């Protein structure tokens, strides 16, 4: 790593962060490799321990590094890129990447729809829905917290299915002859609550990606409202943008 420019208007921690990121992106530091410690960076660049810590902390918060207490800081596995253009299930996405999908069922019950779910699903607030909350896993690693809301009237007996390693979309298709073909979706960043952090193995306050989606069948009837919290350090969402022709 080259020496820092101490007489340029770029913070020293940012220069260190940039040097480390370059080494990660060009493959000199590979996933699982240990990176220099705060003490080593302090000695290498003649900076304060706080400056070195800030560089490592930012790379960790952005998903490039992870720490193991008492052992050091290591290069993280690259983020999963999730296109926003297609309507797919978590199970389908993971299998396409060669990862083993899984789930821990946290809640599976019938309950009144409530105001928000009722509005999005086009049903009465007192109508009964299936509420299914799962911790989604990839090769055993927690990736997302997912809560689905589905009107009971659309698929009685849905909760009899095993949701630990099956796609909800497949279950709906096979058990209820209901196929989801399109959806409205939003995406925003939110901080992890204490509960989110415990479930996803991140620190409280860590940025998460909140995705809310209403999926519809071929007749445009709302079938599912799902609220998913994805780990920001493991996911990157992508989309293709096409410029429309405009009159000059």
- Residues 7 and 213: their CA atoms lie apart, in Å, by 49
- Range of the structural domain that residue 24 is part of: 12-75
What string of pLDDT tens digits covers the 248 residues of the chain? 567 777 788 899 999 999 999 999 888 999 889 999 999 999 999 999 999 999 999 898 777 888 888 889 999 877 766 666 677 777 777 777 777 878 899 999 999 999 999 999 999 999 999 999 999 988 888 989 999 999 999 988 888 888 887 788 888 998 889 999 999 989 899 999 999 999 998 889 988 999 999 999 999 999 999 999 998 877 777 777 777 776 55
- Secondary structure (3-state) at 105: strand
CB 101 within 8 Å of CB 91: yes
- Residues 191 and 9: their CA atoms lie apart, in Å, by 31
Q: Note the pLDDT of residue 83.
A: 62
DSSP 53-88: HHHHHHHHHTTSEEEETTTEEEEPPPPEEEESSS--
Q: Note the pLDDT of residue 85.
A: 66
Q: Note the pLDDT of residue 9.
A: 81
CB 137 within 8 Å of CB 101: yes
Nearest to 132 by CA among 151, 149, 118, 115: 149
Residue 227 lies inside a defined structural domain of this protein: yes
- Within this chain, do residues 51 and 171 fall inside the same structural domain, yes or no? no
- Residues 167 and 105: their CA atoms lie apart, in Å, by 13
CATH number for the domain harbouring residue 32? 1.10.10.10
Nearest to 41 by CA among 33, 50, 30: 50
Residue 6 lies inside a defined structural domain of this protein: no
Q: Note the pLDDT of residue 157.
A: 85
CATH number for the domain harbouring residue 98? 3.40.1410.10
Residue 32 lies inside a defined structural domain of this protein: yes
């Amino acid at each position: 790593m080259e020496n820092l420019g101490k007489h340029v208007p770029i913070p020293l921690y940012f220069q260190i962060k940039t040097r480390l990121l370059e080494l990660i992106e060009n493959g000199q530091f590979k996933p699982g490799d240990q990176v220099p410690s705060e003490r080593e960076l302090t000695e290498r660049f003649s900076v304060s321990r706080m400056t070195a810590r800030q560089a490592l902390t930012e790379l960790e918060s952005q998903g490039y590094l992870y720490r193991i207490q008492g052992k050091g800081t290591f290069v993280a596995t690259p983020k999963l890129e999730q296109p926003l253009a297609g309507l797919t299930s978590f199970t389908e996405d993971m299998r396409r990447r060669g990862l083993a999908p899984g789930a821990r069922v946290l809640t599976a019950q019938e309950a009144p729809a409530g105001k928000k779910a009722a509005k999005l699903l086009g049903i009465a607030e007192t109508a009964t829905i299936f509420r299914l909350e799962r911790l989604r896993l990839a090769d055993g690693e927690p990736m997302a917290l997912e809560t689905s809301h589905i009107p009971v009237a659309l698929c009685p007996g849905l909760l009899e299915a095993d949701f630990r390693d099956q796609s909800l979309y497949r279950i709906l298709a096979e058990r209820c002859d209901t196929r989801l073909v399109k959806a409205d979706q939003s995406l925003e960043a939110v901080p992890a609550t204490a509960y989110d952090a415990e479930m996803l193995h991140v620190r409280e306050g860590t940025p998460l990606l909140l995705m809310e989606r209403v999926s519809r069948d071929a007749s445009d009837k709302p079938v599912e409202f799902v609220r998913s919290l994805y780990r920001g350090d493991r996911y990157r969402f992508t989309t293709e943008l096409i410029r429309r022709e405009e009159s000059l």
